[in-house]
Structure 1
């Protein structure tokens, strides 16, 4: 089973080695402006909206949940961590099911279960019950991310893949934003339970539209569910140094993001800001910046390359973290804008690179990325709350800076590996 093991690759003579049938398959895939592309993009955009709106629906409401149940910030943060942790745990086995039963089928079933649970969440009688329901919801949502990127890798032409996945990630950002903004204002008037119910209804509408719009796959080939075959596929991906680096980068970026947005509500309700819940929910409008940065990631990679884009994303995130230390609200908001832009750009580049790198078992490759990514989210949510409890906002920012430093270090290692491989390729060609 072939796996690309370096970041440097050559396309010289590639046209002569591609079979006519492979070329024909590529030509029948969707491309911007072509048949079905717009429907597909909008359908997966809506799936991303539903996924992130549900997954992080309690994040902006944590201070209210803490007050209602008499729970600490760390305990309430588990309503986020349980969902993301369950997603991380189930994304790989569900991606295996998508290899056998199809991407669209699994995504539809996952959304159906998740939105059903979403309608039950507002009736949780205790924080423990709320955490349990959120875990079930996260496990159901695990069928979306890896299957969506695998669907795109199979149905979209390679040159359009970065842009297509960027649009899906943009849907994630819109879902995350709208979920938090809607819950913030609704909760201010009618409480957090009504707010969560409202998000559940929005997610139902997105799920129905997704199923009606998404084109039937034309290039999906069922795979095996045999454990030995799946284990071999996973082992092959994990033996790829580039994929390992991309998985770690996704986890570290999400650690920053999870920590910041889990804790920011607590910081803004305290002095010197003392903002009401509706205004705090509106803070998440900065997710629109993430929508733009994710959807333009393909152009960014075209100009700077993958590693250059990751350096820029890391630098942008670092600048945002440092600005957020200020007690001036405009600077805090600017910091959140930069953190959001850097995170979504970095996540989109890393996620697209995984799908581009894996030539076989794409669902498993994407699932491993998503698993690492949501482990980072759970770690960020929990550790961010612990750091905030121990050292205030400075502690949360310190955790974020350490994670970004890890991203930069891994990218440096990748750059060195690419240069070494390039020299080997030149020597071999002589």
Structure 2
């Protein structure tokens, strides 16, 4: 429950700006790709900071790092809405990414240490389900309020909800029972990270979040620009309501994690990714119902595949799990940052068709990696 709340808060704070990108473009006079920096910059700094924060959690403990992260990201969000200029706003959004870095990799390590092995798939799915719920509510609330008041009120409301979530997390989270603090030896950190790349499976698993998240975030970054234009001409509130689709991610992450625990991750991962290619093809339609159906399938595909791949990393990494989780999530957020902004170039050059083609290329590569992983020799009980 506590980590579901934490996942909710982190994703709400990070992704509430996504439906506001057309508003940023109009108010600050920036391009669609530049408006995406409100999301890409915090994700980029978060990605890099994960590699430092996870070793610190080995010393300071999982719980203190996560609590500090949630409070800091909530407070920075509240301050950001008071800044009048675009560059000042971007600076505070970037610092928010730094603050949020204390939660994702540490949460994965906490679950791997504290949960029974048979419950890892489901518990990781519930954590990611909290992410999906936070992403949905953050986008919906911020987009709807922006239509009737301003984007500052919308994002400020998310900051207030994140502060309440931080308080709830601090109250709910049980103390670590299986964590033993260790001394921080900076010279040993490169070696502890490097050992994961010597494993025959982990480097392939690390590639998946970069490709999957990169394609997924492009869909949500630029679909608003398409739906604001004719023949759809939707309002900001209507576009925000589309993010209710994120609820399907809450379901699919938990369900796919449980199925993978029973049938095996190597049998489920490639199938989950394949559905994303079907979904993006559906978004090429000029019928709104087909587009919404395609976004729904893309969302379920992403969260299902992410649930399987992230729990697989936690099981395959038998040592320094926080570092393995941080590498996975570093590439996850780099995909969101780098590829999410690159999608703006494809949108500018070829409209939605360019974004769809870019997505298909990324998910085609992810599918090839998943098929490679399906042939990976088992590693005892951690495969």
TM-score, normalised by the number of residues in structure 1: 0.87
Does 2:168 match 1:209?
yes
Name the CA distance, whole Å, in 1 between partners of 2:250 and 2:184: 36
Name the CA distance, whole Å, in 1 between partners of 2:3 and 2:291: 32
* Displacement after TM superposition at 1:271 (Å): 1.2
The aligned runs of 1:213-228 (5 Å cut-off) are: 213-228=172-187
Name the CA distance, whole Å, in 2 between partners of 1:144 and 1:233: 20
Q: Which residue of 2 aligns with 1:391?
A: 350
Q: Which residue of 2 aligns with 1:11?
A: none
From 208, 229, 243, the counterpart of 1:284: 243
Q: How many residues align?
A: 380
Does 2:31 match 1:72?
yes
Q: Which residue of 2 aligns with 1:145?
A: 104
Q: Which residue of 1 aligns with 2:286?
A: 327
Does 2:84 match 1:128?
no
* Displacement after TM superposition at 1:252 (Å): 0.7
Does 2:204 match 1:245?
yes
Name the CA distance, whole Å, in 2 between partners of 1:223 and 1:340: 39
Q: Check whether the contact 1:224–1:230 (CA below 8 A) recurs between aligned residues.
A: no
The list of structure 1 runs, each at least 4 consecutive aligned residues, that deviate by more than 6 angstroms after superposition, is none
Q: Deviations over 1:28-65 (max 9, x none)?
A: xxxxxxxxxxxxxx110000000000011211101111
Does 2:307 match 1:338?
no
Q: Check whether the contact 1:320–1:337 (CA below 8 A) recurs between aligned residues.
A: yes
* Displacement after TM superposition at 1:303 (Å): 4.5
Name the CA distance, whole Å, in 2 between partners of 1:250 and 1:128: 29
Q: Deviations over 1:272-298 (max 9, x none)?
A: 111000010000000010000011123
- Give the secondary-structure state (helix, strand or coil) at the position aligned to 1:296: helix
Name the CA distance, whole Å, in 2 between partners of 1:58 and 1:179: 8
From 309, 319, 327, the counterpart of 2:268: 309
Q: Check whether the contact 1:62–1:77 (CA below 8 A) recurs between aligned residues.
A: yes
Q: Which residue of 2 aligns with 1:27?
A: none
The aligned runs of 1:325-404 (5 Å cut-off) are: 325-404=284-363
Q: Which residue of 1 aligns with 2:233?
A: 274
Q: Deviations over 1:341-396 (max 9, x none)?
A: 00000011111111111111111000000001101111232011111011100000
Name the CA distance, whole Å, in 2 between partners of 1:385 and 1:182: 24
Does 2:13 match 1:54?
yes
Q: Deviations over 1:140-176 (max 9, x none)?
A: 1111010001011111111111111110000000000
The aligned runs of 1:97-112 (5 Å cut-off) are: 97-112=56-71
Q: Check whether the contact 1:257–1:380 (CA below 8 A) recurs between aligned residues.
A: no
Q: Check whether the contact 2:201–2:376 (CA below 8 A) recurs between aligned residues.
A: no
From 45, 48, 54, the counterpart of 1:86: 45
Superposed CA RMSD in Å reads 1.3
Name the CA distance, whole Å, in 1 between partners of 2:377 and 2:353: 36
Name the CA distance, whole Å, in 1 between partners of 2:357 and 2:266: 24
* Displacement after TM superposition at 1:232 (Å): 1.4
Does 2:363 match 1:415?
no
- Give the secondary-structure state (helix, strand or coil) at the position aligned to 1:123: coil
* Displacement after TM superposition at 1:100 (Å): 0.6
Q: Which of these two proteins has the greater Rg computed from alpha carbons?
A: 1
Is there any run of 5+ residues in structure 1 with no aligned partner, and where? 1-41, 423-430
- Give the secondary-structure state (helix, strand or coil) at the position aligned to 2:177: coil
- Give the secondary-structure state (helix, strand or coil) at the position aligned to 1:241: coil
Q: Which residue of 1 aligns with 2:159?
A: 200
* Displacement after TM superposition at 1:130 (Å): 1.4
Name the CA distance, whole Å, in 2 between partners of 1:374 and 1:147: 15
Name the CA distance, whole Å, in 1 between partners of 2:343 and 2:122: 32
Name the CA distance, whole Å, in 2 between partners of 1:182 and 1:71: 23
Q: Which residue of 2 aligns with 1:155?
A: 114
Q: Which residue of 2 aligns with 1:255?
A: 214
Name the CA distance, whole Å, in 1 between partners of 2:375 and 2:108: 28
Name the CA distance, whole Å, in 2 between partners of 1:306 and 1:416: 11
* Displacement after TM superposition at 1:233 (Å): 0.8
Name the CA distance, whole Å, in 1 between partners of 2:213 and 2:135: 13
